[in-house]
Amino acid sequence: MPTLPDEIIEEARQRNFMAGHLRWNDGDFLMAVVDEFLPYFEDESIAPTRRSQAARRAIIRQIADQSGGQESTLAESERMARLITPEARKKWDVLNFHQMRACASAKDDWERWAAWAVGYAHEHSGKLAPVRVIRREIKRGGNGGFVTWAQWLDKMTDLAYRIIEDGSAPDAVLAMAREWTENAEKIKA
């Protein structure tokens, strides 16, 4: 498959960052509007546990309907601004809005995944973690957890012990499995 020129990728990257800044600005604005008008939109006939959520939706819907915006996009911008503070955005400013949104899918664990995404760039010659990769890793990690090198070491060591216990592998494979288990025990100690 052909590769796009670096200039195209750089232009797209800059545009993503510029668009992301606008989304953060939109989110901050919407959050302020929601906070100011929420008490006036709360409906006493709605259960107290859902009252604020319904009022928030009504405010965002009215803004979307009367400004020509997309309700789901505006709601997402407001939700992101609420979850990720301006201070946190500065801390993770190497990530664009879309990458931060992918990290935010891990809810309260979002900052851990932002750190992972930044680490990805350090390990891949400065290339930012694609959104699909961030989402995949979050999904694979389950409950926001990482599969660490120590967990992989444990899995491989378990496999080596199974090979040794089975005993039917060729001698060279058995020797490698024995060596693996010995080295793994040294690493863990």
DSSP for 103-165, written as a single string:
HHTTGGGHHHHHHHHHHHHHHTTTPPPPHHHHHHHHHHHSTT----HHHHHHHHHHHHHHHHH
pLDDT tens digits along 127-146? 888 999 999 888 877 444 45
| 54 lies in the same domain as 5 | yes
pLDDT at residue 21 above 50?
A: yes
Structure confidence at residue 186 (pLDDT): 78
- Domains: count for the chain: 3
Structure confidence at residue 144 (pLDDT): 41
C-alpha dihedral over 62, 64, 66, 69, to 10 degrees?
180
Residues contacting residue 38 through CB under 8 Å, at least 6 positions apart: 52, 55, 56, 59
Q: What CA–CA distances, in Å, run from 137 to 3, 103, 143, 148, 154?
A: 25, 10, 11, 12, 19
pLDDT at residue 66 above 60?
A: yes
- Residue 90 located in a structural domain: no
pLDDT band at 89 (very low <50, low <70, confident <90, very high): very high
pLDDT at residue 27 above 90?
A: yes
| 18 lies in the same domain as 56 | yes
Q: Which domain holds residue 136?
A: 99-143
Region 159-181: what's the mean pLDDT?
A: 89
Structure confidence at residue 147 (pLDDT): 56
- Residue 93 located in a structural domain: no
Region 143-161: what's the mean pLDDT?
A: 71
